[in-house]
Structure 1
Amino acid sequence: MPSEIIKPSVAVAPTNTGRRPGRPTQRILTIDSIVERTLAIAGREGFAAVTMNRLARDMGVTPRALYNHVSNRQEIVDRVWVKVVEGITLPDLDPADWRNSFHVLWNSLRDQFRTFPRVLLVALDEQISPQGTSPLRLKLVEIALDFFTSIGLSLEDAVVVREMLLADLFSFALTADFSYDLRSDEDKATTFHPVPEVWLEKLPEVEAPLTRQALKVSPRTADELFNKMVEARIAYVEKLLGL
């Protein structure tokens, strides 16, 4: 995980609606635009940053105008989660070449979650009502379990491996990619140092020879670290399959 998580105060730029002052907001405000704006805010700042006043301010409308399109904030949260779930696509997976398919699956979902990492905290930040469910969520679970069992895993092991997949993706999007993507190109190579090098420089009296050496062998990119994680999952599955 990154040696120092960056906690940005990211301000999401208001959407350029192209309208002149005084034009009716109802002509440009839609449920879809409200959901998109919420996803943009929550994706970088978390759902806690999403209030009706914040949404209204960002969209250049009054809070009352929002209520002309949605019942309340809960409806917006539910709609955002449905949009996220229904936007997820799974790549074609080949049980005969399952090791490569693991890389394809992990990386495909990582790329999709990477665009709105803090939305993944929805389970901690929010309650999703029954209106926030989607049939596609069940379909995605079924596809994953079918793939894992088709390579020879028991259903019990398939459930565990799927949970590992989700843990890898969620944690990496939130703690690794989020920090890595916010850094300058110059600083990216130091993202996964065990500790920032400046700490070691300020504390030369501390005996930490392995930590100092680790600065030279730490992964230099998020992709490098992620692919090592996938290889670790493949090794675990090989053990389960007795390979």
Structure 2
Amino acid sequence: MPSETLKPVAAAEASPTTGSTGRRPGRPTQRILTVDSIVDRTLAIAGQEGFAAVTMNRLARDMGVTPRALYNHVANRQEIVDRVWVRMINEVTLPELDTDEWRDSFHVLWNSLRTQFQKYPRLLLVALDEHITSAGTSPMRISVVEQALTFFTSIGLSLRQATVVNEMLMADLFSFALTADYHYGRRDEQTRAMTFQPVPEPWLDQHPEVDAPLARKATKESVSTADELFGFIVESRIAYVEKVLGQ
């Protein structure tokens, strides 16, 4: 594959229709490309819109180049997907965890990874939208799991129990980033308070004929912030581990 520092495709020769710059009026100025810059732009698109929005034409348009120029640096779209996933995994870090204060460490671990995943919430849909090839694997992916399993077994869980808790952790982070943080963070202050109501109050007001006393009362009892709800999720995981450990 060409080096990541290859020069950009040469501009077309001047013509009566393109002028002395070699580009048509209104066309974005071609920029110097690298593999990293392509990955950066893909992260920005997929992180907010999902991988379905990532096409070679979209990338080229956003970056002010032709689709052909992208192929000087990557073989195809699949390579970009794999590289984006590797980039994301390589950026994940685990915080310092204390086995003696494992309950506090659960909050630290869950919240630390949640913060990291919040940067590119829709990127987590890669498991549903895309296929990751062997090129999309990373040693860091193995290392992070090993560290997590080491922590979980160090507090007394069997390896099987540790794998279950690790899957709980991943499910909590992926689902919360996509279904709670993504929407909550994009709403204004007025509508944020209704995000976690079982049935939003305006919907109830629109259908007063529906007998739903508990749903109506729940509008005042539900959590009001994403942080509050996430805290309860972590506490539920702690309670599960306490039960398994017989504490």
**TM-score using structure 2 length:** 0.88
Matched, 1:66 2:70: yes
The DSSP-based 3-state class of the residue aligned with 2:193 is helix
Q: Highest relative contact order (Cα 8 Å, sep 6+), 1 or 2?
A: 1
Structure 1 residue 228 displacement after superposition: 0.6
Q: Percent identity?
A: 69
Matched, 1:43 2:37: no
The DSSP-based 3-state class of the residue aligned with 2:230 is helix
Larger Rg, first or second structure (1 or 2): 2
* 1:94 aligns with one of 92, 98, 102: 98
1:97-112 counterparts in 2 under 5 A?
97-112=101-116
Equivalent-residue separation in structure 2 for 1:128 and 1:170 (angstroms): 17
Partner of 2:127: 123
1:224-235 counterparts in 2 under 5 A?
224-235=228-239
Structure 1 residue 190 displacement after superposition: 1.2
Instruction: Deviation per CA, 1:156-190: give whole Å up to 9, x if none.
Output: 10000000000000000000001101101222111
8 A contact 2:29–2:64 mirrored in 1: no
Equivalent-residue separation in structure 1 for 2:221 and 2:77 (angstroms): 47
Pairwise CA RMSD of aligned residues? 1.3
**TM-score using structure 1 length:** 0.89
Partner AA of 2:80 in structure 1: I
Q: Which runs of 5+ in 1 are unaligned?
A: 1-20
Equivalent-residue separation in structure 2 for 1:84 and 1:242 (angstroms): 37
Partner of 1:25: 30
Partner AA of 2:170 in structure 1: L
Instruction: Deviation per CA, 1:100-151: give whole Å up to 9, x if none.
Output: 0000000000000011011111111111111111011111110000000000
Instruction: Deviation per CA, 1:35-86: give whole Å up to 9, x if none.
Output: 0100110011111110000000111111011111111001100100000000
Q: Which runs of 5+ in 2 are unaligned?
A: 1-20
Partner of 2:184: 180
The DSSP-based 3-state class of the residue aligned with 1:186 is helix
Equivalent-residue separation in structure 1 for 2:203 and 2:45 (angstroms): 33
